[in-house]
Structure 1
Amino acid sequence: MLGSAGAAQRVVEPGTPLQPLVDAAAPGEVLLLAPGRHAGPLVIDRPLELRGQAGAIITGTGTGSVITVTAPDVRIEGLEITGSGTDLPAMDSAILVQQAAPRTIVRGNRLMNNLFGVYLHGAADSRVENNIIDGRQDLRLAEAGNGVSIWNAPGAAIIGNTISHGRDGIYVKISHHNRFENNTFSKLRFAIHYMYTNDSRIAGNRSRGNHVGWAIMYSERLEVEDNVSDDDRDH
């Protein structure tokens, strides 16, 4: 079967081990997960598309990250992902995107009850778009992760996401030329937390009911416009 742009597509039924399919996939292949629960964790080490039909869920073991991406040009779309670990230094996430994985696209997923939603750890020019990210509610603030964390990932675009619960909605450190646009944040410490990040754009975001809307620290040459802070303790 052919997927988008003529790429080979394989439909994966629940109960089928995912890692062997990834390990055998050709570059650009589409793995389309059928509705139901699929077992993680999973390491994606080649460019491919991992997509879900409505009702497809990948469940982690409660240890580590559910999906780790270590190759460029990977696309993850249309899945519910849950069950990461709770190790902050290990960056336990629904989706952990490593430095070797530029241009990753994470789009239209539901990332539920994980420590971090998406962690871009050096993955340049990646996009996190139109996801629902709802973090863990059973952890103290000091133990919680962020909806989206970015470290040294120039060109990252975080657009149109709905992020709630956890520490910060988006936390970015030591990066540049990022775009954070049209995201909605609630029930967090900071909606957006900037540290040492220059030449970037924050526009059209909405923060509601958080401790602080926008924490912009040690950053220069930013475009900050048309953001709304509604019922936050501080702007």
Structure 2
Amino acid sequence: MRAFLNIAALILWMVSQVQLVSARQLTVAPNGPVSSVKEGIALASSGDTLVLKEGHYDEYDITVDKPLTIIGEGQVVIDGNRKGFVLVITADDVTVKNIEVRHASTSFMEDYAGILVENTNNTVIENVTLTDNFFGIYLAKSSNALIKDNHITASGGRETSSGNGIHLWYSKDIDIQGNYVEGHRDGLYFEFVEGATISGNVSEHNIRYGIHFMYSDNCRYEGNTFRDNGGGVAVMYTQNVEIINNRFEDNWGSSAYGMLLKEINRSQIEGNEFVNNSVGLYIEATSRNSIKKNSFRQNGWAIKLMANSTDNRFTENNFIANSFEISTNSRQNYNAFDNNYWSQYEGYDLDKDGIGDVPHRPVRLFSIIVEKHPPSLLLLRSLLIDILDAAEKFMPVLTPETLIDSQPKMTKIL
């Protein structure tokens, strides 16, 4: 048996050496014997490396249909000139690095992309600049891809004339890290994705959402920044998602949120910063989630919590200098708040244990008035409103009597 295993190991080693010897490096240069990317791919064999020398390549619908590594040297630009897709990857084990891809076509019928990845496994797209494409990177029915350190920008101006920066559809186990996305319809878009990790990305100044996330279970996004997007961030129809240590900031507008949660279940929202948004966190039809150790600072509304959301637990969060801490559309409460810090808390701590001796009621009467009559927001700083709020706290009539933090922290939670 041992001799058999040794022979098998020797055969595998010999095969690997043959593969190493057979892999070649081919050069493509604008003024060289091989002057187009398409020609280089046609001449290459599986496993080869294609080196693109510095220059401008006017090509579109370039299909990578075999395992290859494509690497740019110097300033390499592939320009589709609005004639179709630019780079289409249909083979497994393809790597693309250090190039710029420009000007995929725009269409109302076709999802043209700077880089389209379809029905593949083990794709790597790294350090690629994608400029003024309809869609930037589009993955469909693919798995085990790495999308890393890419710079993706567009200037469509309207939702109808712009696709998404990074678009995933029916894909699995995708790692998206360290990318910058700006000026697209949605910075990142996920639909029917499983097991993806999104970390260290910046998505800002996009027309609609910084990330639009639907029907995508068991995913994690961590350490990202979503800034000044038209609608903020939307996470919908998903379970078992981890949203950890992200920043949601400067998302302002009548329909803008730091993050919108709709039908999100059994998920973890922890350590995030919600800063300077119209609404920090909007929660609708969402249940059994842990919202813990987040910071809500200087938002219009820190949290809008709809009545159809149940069994969510809010603990050890900081609510600092928000115009309204919690707003809800029901007099009933089916969620738990405890051990949070509220900068608007007016209670006391006689036994000096760091916990307020009286509960905190974060829902103001005035927030209910504003929901019904938005122009009344002009009275926010008036003495009359302060008196109404004080009376409602003393004897709740319109605000939910059970929506309280019975153990409010006296100092900010670090």
Picking from 90, 95, 98, the partner of 1:70 is 90
The answer to whether residue 225 in structure 2 is matched with residue 206 in structure 1 is yes
Aligned mates of 1:213, 1:204 — CA distance in 2: 16
Equivalent residue, structure 1, for 2:27: 11
Quick check: 1:147–1:170 contact (8 Å CA) kept in 2?
yes
Structure 1 position 87, deviation (Å): 2.0
Quick check: 2:26–2:44 contact (8 Å CA) kept in 1?
no
Picking from 150, 153, 159, the partner of 2:168 is 150
Q: Which has the higher contact order (CA 8 A, sep 6+)?
A: 1
Superposition pairs for residues 108-123 of structure 1, below 5 Å?
108-123=127-142
The structure whose residues are more often helix, as a share, is 2
Structure 1 range deviating more: 71-80 or 34-43: 34-43
Aligned mates of 2:236, 2:56 — CA distance in 1: 41
Equivalent residue, structure 1, for 2:315: none
- Residue by residue, what CA displacement relative to the aligned partner does 1:73-124 show, whole Å, maximum 9, x if unpaired? 100100011010012542211100011x211110001000100110001111
Structure 1 position 17, deviation (Å): 2.1
TM-score by length of 2: 0.54
Taking every aligned residue pair, what percent have the same amino acid on both sides?
28
Q: 1:152 aligns to what SS in structure 2?
A: strand
- Residue by residue, what CA displacement relative to the aligned partner does 1:199-231 show, whole Å, maximum 9, x if unpaired? 000110001111233210001100111010121
Equivalent residue, structure 2, for 1:193: 212
Aligned mates of 1:145, 1:21 — CA distance in 2: 29
RMSD across aligned C-alpha pairs, in angstroms?
1.4
Picking from 162, 165, 179, the partner of 2:197 is 179
The answer to whether residue 105 in structure 2 is matched with residue 85 in structure 1 is yes
Structure 1 position 141, deviation (Å): 1.7
Aligned mates of 1:26, 1:90 — CA distance in 2: 31
Gaps of 5+ in 1: none
Quick check: 1:64–1:87 contact (8 Å CA) kept in 2?
no
Equivalent residue, structure 1, for 2:63: 43
Equivalent residue, structure 1, for 2:42: 23
Aligned mates of 2:146, 2:246 — CA distance in 1: 20
The answer to whether residue 76 in structure 2 is matched with residue 56 in structure 1 is yes
Quick check: 2:156–2:184 contact (8 Å CA) kept in 1?
no
Q: Which has the larger Rg?
A: 2
Picking from 106, 111, 126, the partner of 1:107 is 126
Gaps of 5+ in 2: 1-19, 259-414
Q: How many residues align?
A: 229
Aligned mates of 1:102, 1:169 — CA distance in 2: 23
Quick check: 1:63–1:92 contact (8 Å CA) kept in 2?
no
Structure 1 range deviating more: 114-123 or 212-221: 212-221
Amino acid at match of 1:164: E
Aligned mates of 1:71, 1:184 — CA distance in 2: 29
